[in-house]
Amino acid sequence: MKVKILIPTPLRRFVEGAKSVEVEAATVEAALAALGQRNADLRKQIFDDAGHLRNFVNVFLGDRNARELGASLAEVPVRDGDVLVLIPAIAGGTPEVKLSREEILRYSRHLIIPEVTIEGQKRLKASKVLCIGAGGLGSPLTLYLAAAGVGRIGVVDFDTVDLTNIQRQILYSTGDVGRPKVEAARERLEALNPNIEIVTHSIHLASWNVMDLFGAYDIIADGTDNFPTRYLVNDACVLLRKPNVYGSIFRFEGQISVFDAARGPCYRCLFPEPPPPGLVPSCAEGGVLGVLPGIIGSLQALEVLKLILGVGEPLIGRFVVFDALDFKFRELSIAKNKECAVCGASPTVTAPVDYEAFCQVRGAESEADLGQASLISVEELHQRRDAGEKFRLLDVREPHERKIVSIPDSIHTPFDELLSRLHEFDSADQFVVYCHKTGRSLDAWRLLRKAGFGNAYVLSGGVDAWAQRIDPTLPRY
Amino acid sequence: MVPLPPAIETELRRHCEEEYPHEACGALIGTGDGENQPWRVEEIRRAPNAHGDDHARRYLIPPAFQLHVEKYARQIGREVIGFYHSHPDHKADPSEYDRTHAWAGYLYLICSVRDRKSAEFRTLALAPTGFFVDVLPSR
């Protein structure tokens, strides 16, 4: 049989520059052997010492890889006029990551674990992890990732360090109060491990910047404390096919999971809609036990390292709730939702969107629908009370908050009890409602207005503003 | 360095940036052999990265893609003269892995990408010694 063999560029120098060679043969193997006989160097290029076609050389018969056409090339017959195409394998890659002597010593407790070894440590060094939020969860997360030698750690946070953060955000020291978080975080992490790169992003995460930012990282770790960002992070991770290592905390309870839409459900499969505004308080409103974010953030760091190393069972399709008071880890199985708006069969979310409106963050929305006339400043209240005007000053906070600080001559009814105790009040009186800042007092004001209390005001900034501007001897929290 | 027509350089850089932090790879189509006739890149074709696990550090061009692009080049009277790939967050210097997998006779272009922005690139060929040398514009 007369067969034509097309010669790829790198092999033509062995056949006087010919683009193709014609040989007589009955099988693919015989055809290649006939080609090899024309030049000993060419034979060495395509056959190994045992006479087999090297595995980095492919041969196509028509459109089919000849290796797939028979158990061996000797069993693949050729017909008159067939065309064989030699295809050299093309591969390569980035230079190896190297560990210095200092790094080998530093990571020695990793290197001796059979599941990590020097190969795993190099993977850690070559990986890029973005941490959203440098707060309670972000603190242990970034500290452990930096200590473990993750080569590039991105930190997103727009805040400055506040004294109320220090109780749980172990990235910062008391001396850092007032500094931008990313600046203080960089200093701490670089001091911890000078072999890695810390990239700081002092930005508000938004639909217009999230894709570019996430695109440059392998894994995203979400340690945010608000729903708009959580949904934005989830959607961007699904769209970019990046795993999202999720953690969240509230008072004595923590949650953790790994959302990877390519291998399991996403956050929206579990929670298609955010909760109604105001139902879930933030740490500032609800409080959190200082050590709890330390536990959940450390577990997030663990899951990140497992994903990079490819060891163990990642927390994909599993949602773990940690109850610190009972000391119970409850594991829930979660499935992918075929109807999911972002990772389902026919998604309606195909680009990141900003969720402020969707999640209706309390505050921005509520202040807007509140007439200026119903807000009273701490200064105005102080002056008018001094001038002898009568106000029923109503504190709607919890009893334990009232023990920290309260405004003199105020009455107390926690918001949850307000509705059932309205009969205790006279709707003809002039009311000023206050809470810690302004959140719950707005809800209380609405409730009073609906119940026919026409003379009700909200104390703008709450007891916190009073302690700052009227009586600085009072404690703040 | 083998000069690239501006439109092709733009397309190549865009591909490398789009794949970041993974490696981009593709075929260089044109004329020349780097010996008797200098290489001239006239077109590029994006290839899928078929490497099994580590797309951030490795690339493998699927043989079926090569077959397809070889056919296409022949149809328009050109050749597959070489291949390009990116080095995310690394210099455009060839790695040992690049060297051991290279074929003499092909032109290799490596483009560095840092933080999703393409940076310098090098055009290289395997010398008879088995090591890469930069290709001069005249080759």
Using CA atoms, how far apart are residues A135 and A169, in angstroms rounded to an integer? 6
Please state which of the ranges A9-23, A183-197, A268-282, B75-89 shows the lowest mean pLDDT.
A268-282
- The closest CB to that of B60, out of A6, A60, A91, belongs to A91
pLDDT digits (tens, 9 = 90+) for A26-58: 999 999 999 988 888 888 888 888 888 888 889
pLDDT at A364: 42
pLDDT at A27: 93
Task: Answer whether A9 sits within 8 Å of B101, measured CB to CB.
Answer: no
Report phi then psi at A156, rounded to 5: -110, 120
A435 as an active site residue: the answer is yes
Task: Evaluate if residue A351 carries a pLDDT over 70.
Answer: yes
> Which CATH superfamily hosts domain A127-359?
NAD(P)-binding Rossmann-like Domain (3.40.50.720)
Chain A nearest-CA distance from B5, in A, is 22
Please state which of the ranges B7-21, B69-83, B93-107 shows the lowest mean pLDDT.
B93-107
pLDDT at A439: 83
- The closest CB to that of A93, out of B23, B63, B103, belongs to B23
- The closest CB to that of A93, out of B59, B82, B104, belongs to B59
Name the pLDDT band for A467 (thresholds 50, 70, 90). Answer: very high
pTM of the model: 0.67
Residue scoring higher pLDDT (B76 or A284): B76
pLDDT at A362: 47
Task: Evaluate if residue A282 carries a pLDDT over 80.
Answer: no
Which of 199-258 (A) contact B at CB < 8 A? 212, 215-218
- Per-chain mean pLDDT for chain A: 90
Task: Evaluate if residue B101 carries a pLDDT over 90.
Answer: no
A237 as an active site residue: the answer is no
Please state which of the ranges A46-50, A405-409, A443-447 shows the lowest mean pLDDT.
A46-50
pLDDT at A368: 47
Task: Evaluate if residue A358 carries a pLDDT over 80.
Answer: no
pLDDT at A365: 41
| Topology classification of domain B6-134 | Cytidine Deaminase; domain 2 (3.40.140)
Residue scoring higher pLDDT (A368 or B70): B70
pLDDT at A361: 47
Task: Evaluate if residue B52 carries a pLDDT over 60.
Answer: yes
pLDDT at A343: 94
A185-191 average pLDDT score: 97
pLDDT at A1: 87
pLDDT at A374: 86
ipTM of the complex: 0.82
Is A388 an interface residue toward B (CB < 8 Å)?
no
A95-115 average pLDDT score: 93
Peptide bond into B48 cis (omega under 30): no
Size of interface A-B (CB pairs under 8 A): 111
Please state which of the ranges A22-36, A272-286, A398-412 shows the lowest mean pLDDT.
A272-286
Given the residues A266, A269, A283, A343, the one annotated as active site: A283
Is A93 an interface residue toward B (CB < 8 Å)?
yes
Report phi then psi at B108, rounded to 5: -115, 125
Task: Answer whether A9 sits within 8 Å of B33, measured CB to CB.
Answer: yes
In chain A, domain spans = 2-88, 127-359, 366-469
Task: Evaluate if residue A199 carries a pLDDT over 70.
Answer: yes
Interface with A, mutate which of B57, B81, B95 (most A CBs under 10 A): B57
Residue scoring higher pLDDT (B131 or A292): A292
Task: Answer whether B21 sits within 8 Å of A94, measured CB to CB.
Answer: no
A289-304 average pLDDT score: 96
| Topology classification of domain A2-88 | Ubiquitin-like (UB roll) (3.10.20)
Chain A nearest-CA distance from B126, in A, is 10
Task: Answer whether B105 sits within 8 Å of A126, measured CB to CB.
Answer: no
Task: Answer whether A93 sits within 8 Å of B93, measured CB to CB.
Answer: no
pLDDT at A133: 96
Residue scoring higher pLDDT (A40 or A275): A40
**What's the CATH architecture for A366-469?**
3-Layer(aba) Sandwich (3.40)
pLDDT digits (tens, 9 = 90+) for A122-171: 999 999 999 999 999 999 999 999 999 999 999 999 999 999 999 999 99
Using CA atoms, how far apart are residues A35 and A47, in angstroms rounded to an integer? 11
Q: ∠ CA(A124), CA(A126), CA(A130), 5° rounding?
A: 80
Task: Evaluate if residue B137 carries a pLDDT over 90.
Answer: no
